[in-house]
Structure 1
Amino acid sequence: MSLFGAAEYPGRGLAIGRDADGVPFFAYWLTGRSPASQARELVVHDRELIVRDTSGGPPDDLRHYTAAIRRDDWVIVGNGTQVSELAAARGQQPDLQVALRQLTYEPDPPIRTPRITAGATITGTELANVVVGSARAYDGTPELTEHPSLFAARIAPGTALTTTTYSGAADPVTTNGHPETIAVPCTWSDVTAGLWQSLRPALRIAAITVRLDTPAFTDVVQQAGSAGE
């Protein structure tokens, strides 16, 4: 089962939606080419998901960050420090599509990795005001930033919004950041296994699916493994 495409190197990816039974969830996954990128893990706290270094080296904001923050009635997920920044500013700017316009892509030339972000408000099993978007270098004019996004006032069962930072081969890297809507024909607890199978073993680092109709990150399914397994 491949829910999120079959790119050789998706980089980092996220999805948010409802499974076939209507249960709300988000998924987040990491792949990496370099030893530094491979030396990471996903750490689940009560209401936060952290991407943490495992090498003992110095912190790096492009590789180590808070990937998700949950509050009573909303969640924000993403691939960098923008998650904490957007969460802190949500009281002043709750419209995520507008807030994303203040971001730019990662300072990692020549790749210019997109910053990808998702968010939604949560009421029971309902997801509302769902946004998946990115800040990416404009094709052909990389000094400019564009902000493609998808918005759904409500999410139907069996549906998710998703995007990845990359979309092609591992070398050379092809940037992505274009959101899309996909079908989710399974339960939330099966998403991680299907996602993991779709990732190239030599590049995969970690993946997680988190149920969102609970007040904290208590129901999760994780997968992690060594490169080349």
Structure 2
Amino acid sequence: MTGLGELVGASEYPGRGLAIGRDVDGAGFAAYWLTGRSPASKQRKLVVSEHEIVVEDLSGGATDDLRHYTAAVRADDWIVVGNGTQVAELAVARRAGQDLQLALRDHGYEPDPPIRTPRIFATALVDATEVTIGSARSLPGAEEFVQHPSLHLPVLPPGTAATVSTYNGSSGTVTVSGIPQTASLAVPWTAVADLIWQQLNPALRVALFVTPLEASTFEAAILR
């Protein structure tokens, strides 16, 4: 498999991205990163509490659901990570025992034409089993329709991650992605933040977190 760092660095502008996996020692982790082109997109920060990580505005302007949202929710035995309002809604579905691959079908891409940014998400049990990752994206060539590519992995081997990003083009030519992939990983989870951060274009990167899955809260997350 391609390395996680190589996948992250393969495009100049990945938009938002996430990864969920196990490091070389078998420890589970989740990562989420933001990049942005506009001044408003760059004026954001991550706010960590025990059971949520929220993307908040730094400019003092009005809240915008496309840029300000809950990016991660955790319970005692699971986590949900993603790039928008679907995270809180999928967490409710998870608490109700629903299959999130099916629950994802209730969601569409972001209402931001002409780009139509995919809504991405991942979920797993805290022991890094029952991993599901996917997106709601526009159908190429028939953008009024929504497709929901997803991947379910009952078990992730050590040194493996599942990852997805909203885009895979450049800042000048935004190309929609939302296609889940698997990647290899040769570092401990504590090094994943630096691995990803160094691959992001310094002119575009905004924020990043990496959190261990088995911690009881998000307060052990590493932030950039």
Answer whether contact 2:138 2:146 (CA < 8 A) is retained.
yes
Gapped regions of structure 2 (runs ≥ 5)? none
Residue 179 of structure 2 corresponds to residue 178 of structure 1: yes
Residue 41 of structure 2 corresponds to residue 40 of structure 1: no
Aligned amino acid, residue 17 of structure 1: G
Q: Spell out, residue by residue over 1:7-57, the C-alpha distance to the aligned partner (whole angstroms, 9 max, x if none).
A: 100000000011111111000000000011000011111111100000000
* 1:5 alignment partner in structure 2: 8
Q: Spell out, residue by residue over 1:107-158, the C-alpha distance to the aligned partner (whole angstroms, 9 max, x if none).
A: 0000000000000122xxx222101100000000000000001110011111
* 1:227 alignment partner in structure 2: none
Match of 2:95 among 91, 97, 101: 91
Q: Distance in 1 between matches of 2:145 and 2:153?
A: 27
Percent pairwise identity: 53
Aligned amino acid, residue 5 of structure 2: S
State the 1:97 CA deviation: 0.7
Match of 2:61 among 57, 60, 74: 57
* 2:76 alignment partner in structure 1: 72
* 1:158 alignment partner in structure 2: 159
> What is the TM-score with the length of structure 2 in the denominator?
0.95
Q: Distance in 1 between matches of 2:48 and 2:6?
A: 23
Where does 1:147-226 land on structure 2 (aligned, <5 Å)? 147-223=148-224
* 2:143 alignment partner in structure 1: 142
Q: Spell out, residue by residue over 1:48-107, the C-alpha distance to the aligned partner (whole angstroms, 9 max, x if none).
A: 110000000000011000000000011100000000111122233521111111110000
State the 1:2 CA deviation: 2.0
Q: Number of residues paired by the alignment? A: 220
Q: Which runs of 4+ in 1 moved over 4 A?
A: none
State the 1:220 CA deviation: 1.7
Gapped regions of structure 1 (runs ≥ 5)? 224-229
Answer whether contact 2:12 2:200 (CA < 8 A) is retained.
yes
Residue 54 of structure 2 aligns to a residue whose secondary structure is strand
Aligned amino acid, residue 71 of structure 2: A
State the 1:221 CA deviation: 1.4
Q: Distance in 1 between matches of 2:116 and 2:54?
A: 22
RMSD, matched Cα: 1.1
Answer whether contact 1:48 1:68 (CA < 8 A) is retained.
yes
Answer whether contact 1:3 1:194 (CA < 8 A) is retained.
no
* 2:24 alignment partner in structure 1: 20
Residue 87 of structure 2 aligns to a residue whose secondary structure is helix
State the 1:172 CA deviation: 1.6
Aligned amino acid, residue 121 of structure 1: L
Q: Distance in 2 between matches of 1:3 and 1:24?
A: 20
Q: Distance in 2 between matches of 1:152 and 1:160?
A: 10
Residue 105 of structure 2 corresponds to residue 105 of structure 1: no
Q: Distance in 1 between matches of 2:96 and 2:217?
A: 24
Q: Distance in 2 between matches of 1:218 and 1:81?
A: 22
